[in-house]
Chains A and B, each alone.
Chain A
Amino acid sequence: MKNIFYILIMIVSLTGMSLAMAGEKKQTLPAVAKPFKAPEFALKDENDITYRLSDFRGKVVLINFWATWCPPCRIEMPSIERLWQKVKGKGIVILAINVGESADTVFKFTGQLQLSFPIPMDTKGEVIKKYPAAGLPTTYIVSPAGMVTHRAVGSREWDDPVLMKQLMAMRIPNRNGK
């Protein structure tokens, strides 16, 4: 009788602890209170390729504002690369916009981490103010219709199955409904 009682106590305590811990690690991509039209921009990357947001209409666009000196930005970069490898060509585009740094600085950083997704540069810090983000990193999701629908402040594990599923569900279904 006593043993059953103490086992019950342990089960209750451990379940409570594990539920609390699981909750803290959950990845979130919250919806914005009011979706708004994504401000247009045209920014060049280190290779002089221009990225215009309107060129990606019809696709889900993940816009990540970041800088090399920002620790949480650096933390999430590998997960953005893993996400890119999984969603490239599947109706999702990633534009990781560097804020205020030189092409040389960005080049050194991306080389170290072997990042292959597009990195346009907001050298004057003007595009980020249009969105408007208050801190780095901040990530916005633009719907296929060109509306900002979600925002994540701070780093995320972008290839987390929950986030990937959420992003994939935002795409326009193809003719087969998939």
Chain B
Amino acid sequence: MMLSSVHVKIIVFLLAGFVSGYAGNIYAIDQKTGIDEQAQLPFWEVSTGGMSLRLIQRLPIQSRGYFLARGFNATQAERIARSCIFQTVFKNTSQGGQPGKASTLEYNLNDWRVIYKGKKRKMKTRQDWASEWRAEKVSKPAQIAFEWSLYPTSQQYKPGDYNWGMSVFNLEPGSRFDLEITWMQYGRKNTAIIKNMECAPDINPQPTEAL
């Protein structure tokens, strides 16, 4: 029943993997892209043992229809639709970690940066849009719908909390850019850069022809 040193090393390696798998590695940052199953559109995702952020393309035609139905006129709906919108889901997943490793997550979109053609700039937040809508005397119900449809500018998530909303990067359809994100968790500031994101092109998808 004696274990060789190789066996012992393998067991130690697996136990370490087990512990870090259960705890989730709270600092290591994973990134992936693919096609979102529900939206059937490209997504970019960042996750650690304590959080996950998924940004899913929204087609301009989707946003155009959505905001027309909520009281915006055609010009305003067009402006929103062509502003590079991503459906955003940001979760505090730290509850799945090692006992005692659950941690509050905080972020502020004003700290995030869109990197486009070598230059950095802020995102366009609820507050930026609100002043435009007030100046244009947009109806109150439309303003309310817009405000709550957009991703919250800042938020604090306890374990298990998350939001779902639209993020606006204010670029032309089809533009490619990097996104620098920051968030506070486990008592420290965390940063990641999501490379080569792409604003959805302004296309009008046709139904697939039946065979």
Instruction: Give the interface of A toward B (CB within 8 A).
Output: 1, 5, 8-9, 12-13, 15-17, 19-20, 23-24, 26-28, 30, 67, 69-72, 99-102, 123-125, 134-136, 151-154, 156
Chain B contacts for A72, CB-based, 8 A: 162, 164
Chain B contacts for A12, CB-based, 8 A: 14-15, 18
Cα-based distance from A156 to B145 in the complex (angstroms): 22
Chain A contacts for B111, CB-based, 8 A: none
Q: Contact between B96 and A24 (Cβ–Cβ < 8 Å)? A: yes
Q: Contact between B93 and A24 (Cβ–Cβ < 8 Å)? A: yes
Chain A binder among B147-155, B177-185, B203-211: B147-155
Q: Contact between B159 and A13 (Cβ–Cβ < 8 Å)? A: no
Chain A contacts for B165, CB-based, 8 A: 135
Q: Contact between A28 and B7 (Cβ–Cβ < 8 Å)? A: no
Which 6 pairs, one residue from A and one from B, show the smallest C-beta to C-beta distance? A28-B160, A23-B96, A100-B144, A30-B158, A134-B152, A153-B161
Cα-based distance from A97 to B95 in the complex (angstroms): 28
Q: Contact between B14 and A28 (Cβ–Cβ < 8 Å)? A: no
Q: Contact between B95 and A154 (Cβ–Cβ < 8 Å)? A: no
Q: Given A67-B148, A69-B145, are A152 and B160 also a contact pair (CB < 8 Å)?
A: yes
Cα-based distance from A9 to B7 in the complex (angstroms): 11
Q: Contact between A153 and B162 (Cβ–Cβ < 8 Å)? A: yes
Q: Given A67-B148, A100-B145, are A134 and B164 also a contact pair (CB < 8 Å)?
A: no
Chain B contacts for A69, CB-based, 8 A: 66, 70, 145, 149
Q: Contact between A134 and B7 (Cβ–Cβ < 8 Å)? A: no
Cα-based distance from A111 to B10 in the complex (angstroms): 59
Q: Contact between A13 and B18 (Cβ–Cβ < 8 Å)? A: yes
Query: What is the chain B residue whose CB lies nearest that of A65?
Result: B148
Query: What is the chain A residue whose CB lies nearest that of B126?
Result: A134
Chain A contacts for B140, CB-based, 8 A: 124
Encoded as 1 (CB less than 8 Å from any A CB) or 0, chain B from 127 to 162 comes to: 000000000000011001101110111110111111
Chain A contacts for B11, CB-based, 8 A: 8-9
Q: Given A24-B95, A100-B141, A154-B91, are A30 and B147 also a contact pair (CB < 8 Å)?
A: no
Which of A15, A20, A67, A69 has the most C-beta atoms of chain B within 10 angstroms of its own C-beta? A20
Cα-based distance from A18 to B154 in the complex (angstroms): 33
Shortest distance between the CB of B67 and any CB in chain A (Å): 11
Q: Contact between B144 and A125 (Cβ–Cβ < 8 Å)? A: yes
> Is B28 located at the chain interface by the 8 A CB criterion?
no
Q: Contact between A20 and B96 (Cβ–Cβ < 8 Å)? A: yes
> Is B60 located at the chain interface by the 8 A CB criterion?
no
Query: What is the chain B residue whose CB lies nearest that of A19?
Result: B22
Cα-based distance from A16 to B97 in the complex (angstroms): 11
Encoded as 1 (CB less than 8 Å from any A CB) or 0, chain B from 13 to 28 comes to: 0110111011010000
Cα-based distance from A100 to B146 in the complex (angstroms): 10
Cα-based distance from A17 to B2 in the complex (angstroms): 28
Query: What is the chain B residue whose CB lies nearest that of A1?
Result: B1
Q: Given A26-B95, A28-B95, are A100 and B15 also a contact pair (CB < 8 Å)?
A: no
Chain A contacts for B155, CB-based, 8 A: 134-135, 153
> Is B190 located at the chain interface by the 8 A CB criterion?
no
> Is B163 located at the chain interface by the 8 A CB criterion?
yes
Query: What is the chain A residue whose CB lies nearest that of B2?
Result: A1
Cα-based distance from A30 to B78 in the complex (angstroms): 40
Cβ-neighbour of A134 out of B10, B24, B66, B154 (below 8 A): B154
